[in-house]
Amino acid sequence: MIYRYLLILVATIAGLGTGAAIVAFNRESQQQPFAFLFRATDKVEREFSALMAPADAGPPIEYHPTVFTGIDGIVVNIPREPMPGAGGAVAVIGNETLITTFRGNVYTASEDGSFFLTDIVVPDNGLEEWRSAARRPENIEFRHSFGKLRYNELEVLDRSDGRFLFLSYNEFHEDQNCHTLTVARLTLPVSGPVSGTSASPEDWEIVFRSSPCLPLRGVNDAIQGEEAGGRIAFSPDGTTAYLTVGEYGWNGWDSDGLTELSRSSLAQNPNADQGKIVEIDLATLEARHFSTGHRNAQGVTVDHEGRIWSVEHGPRGGDELNLIEDGNNYGWPVVTYGTDYNGAPIPGVQTVGYHDGYAEPVYAWLPSVGISGITALHADFHPSWDGDLLAISLNGNTLFRIRVDGERVVFTEEIEMGRRLRDIEQLENGRLVIWTDSHEVIFLSPVEGGFGEQYIGRRLERLADADPQFAEEVAEAIGQCSECHSFNSQEYRIGPPLARVHGELIGGDSLFQYSDALENASDRWDEESLTAYLRDPEAIYPGTTMANPQIGDERVIAEIVFILEELSQEDLRD
């Protein structure tokens, strides 16, 4: 067993170096031939973490600082599929979380770390037929990446007249030697958890198949399933679905020349569903092109005002956030803020670096971040986040909080998550759920002020009952400290957190870069040293970068030191 640990440790260290090199490339570097290294590194790292965790530790909990609140993330690992690939989605109904892997296995997951493989069997996507067709003489020279015939989306529609589960997937049709983006619908029981539902492939109703059925290609992958889009959102009244249909790489210039279709840009072809956002009437199943000129829209959502937002992959640069309006043409591939992967302009682009003549993106990412899922916050999460859009990224490993004012992006806050993020939803209780390419479900919730701030609030209330003026002076001093320090553990601001500072080595927080004055100190923070430091930091540690707080009342200093001592007590609850 020790040998196994050492082997995993060595492999992890080597893998991390390889992974860092891989991430230095653009998102396409995580395709062949680097895909195996990327998956192997991730698998080894996860296995090592699992082995080192205590048996009764429960699901791992991460902490992610943001501008206005810390976020805790509970991580639930879902079993890997036995073949290479990535994708899948997360769906929510009430406070129940459903996941489909890229191979179409449907799980539920809970914040207690448990997961369950449901009895919901999805429609066949023709994978075995494609494997067989790949051996035919006319197809044998093509590059067949079978993991790209994947299941893209899982969404729940809960209406007054029933509940439905929607699924989108890449489907191969052996009789025509071609593939489509297909959407199917499953009628669910009107009540009870979805996890208790049993379904066979025959129980699903086909809602949509893209047209034309695309033949296998002789350039890049025979089926570029990673450019399928396939994301679904619903109108507020639940009568209409909005489906993103990617162009599967059929851009008009990156062509095998085998058919006239391969030499055209499908995103600008009015007779092709590819490169469009398609509106589907869920009563009649009639479909029409709602918007055109899209490359690979990996996310779509409807906000509380009924506006439709999508995010889509650009090429090398030019990932976009778009406000989707009926009839708009968003320009791909005639205009784009990106370039080809070799750095050259996209062939046929009218004006390099500009987006003239077509609907402009509301925001664009340069360089590309591999933007993927998006959701509009519809339930309370944190007061400072109300109404924001949340988008996630693959190559960027980042959660983006996007503040929109009308049609203007005010800011995007980047929250590093450390892995490829595939899909995001919000539960009824406000928590966020993210599905990752590492087969993780991450439940995110804000640290509500944190334990430190909660304790201080209660302490100030008690002081105010006895002496309101004194409580106000303490609150003012605490507020001054909070400009640079958090009273919540692991939350770093300009300075290190103060939640456990009493009793710690002075300058001993390994995650913070101290001044030489504190770095060279050898004592621990106690009542005496904290009191002296609050009186005059420079006097006790010459060269410290902390400004003199100028607290004139010794009683206020004593109260702050008392609070710091109390916060250091592990068993403090009241």
The one-letter code for the residue type at 553 is: D
Omega within 30 of 0 (cis) for the link into 497: no
The token pair at 71 is: 């976020």
Closest CA to 439 of 82, 81, 44: 81
**Domain 61-446 falls under CATH 3.40.50.150:** no
pTM over cut 0.85: no
Which residue bears the tokens 């993103």? 244
Tens digit of pLDDT at every position of the chain (574 positions): 344 344 444 444 444 444 444 333 333 333 444 444 545 555 555 555 555 545 455 788 888 888 878 788 999 999 999 999 999 999 999 999 999 999 999 999 999 999 999 999 999 999 999 999 999 999 999 999 999 999 999 999 999 999 999 999 999 999 999 999 999 999 999 988 998 899 999 999 999 999 999 999 999 999 999 999 999 999 999 999 999 999 999 999 988 888 888 888 999 999 999 999 999 999 999 999 999 999 999 999 999 999 999 999 999 999 999 999 999 999 999 999 999 888 889 998 988 999 999 999 999 999 999 999 999 999 999 888 989 999 999 999 999 999 999 999 999 999 999 999 999 999 999 999 999 999 999 999 987 666 677 788 888 988 999 999 999 999 999 999 988 888 877 677 888 889 889 999 999 888 888 999 898 888 999 999 999 999 999 999 999 999 999 999 999 999 999 999 988 875 443 3
Question: What are the structural domain ranges in the chain?
Answer: 2-52, 61-446, 450-567
- Residue type present at position 26: N
* CA 415 to each of CA 46, 106, 396: distance values in angstroms, whole numbers, following the listed order: 21, 28, 10
H helical segments located in 62-204:
127-133
Residue bearing tokens 């003489």: 137
What is the pairing mode between strands 389-393 and 371-376?
A: antiparallel
User: What's the fold here for domain 450-567?
Assistant: Cytochrome Bc1 Complex; Chain D, domain 2 (1.10.760)
> With the CA atoms of 84, 89, 185 and 133 taken in that order, what torsion angle do they form, in degrees rounded to the nearest 10?
-20
Q: Do domains 61-446 and 450-567 have the same CATH topology?
A: no
The span from the CA of 559 to the CA of 201, in Å, is 67
Please tell me what DSSP assigns to residue 339. Answer: B
Contact (Cβ atoms closer than 8 angstroms) between residue 487 and residue 500: no
3-state DSSP call for residue 167? Answer: strand
As a dihedral over the C-alpha atoms of residue 264, residue 298, residue 241, residue 333, rounded to 10 degrees, the angle is -30
Determine if residue 351 is left, alpha or beta; phi over 0 gives left, psi from -120 to 50 gives alpha, anything else beta: beta
What number of residues does the chain have?
574
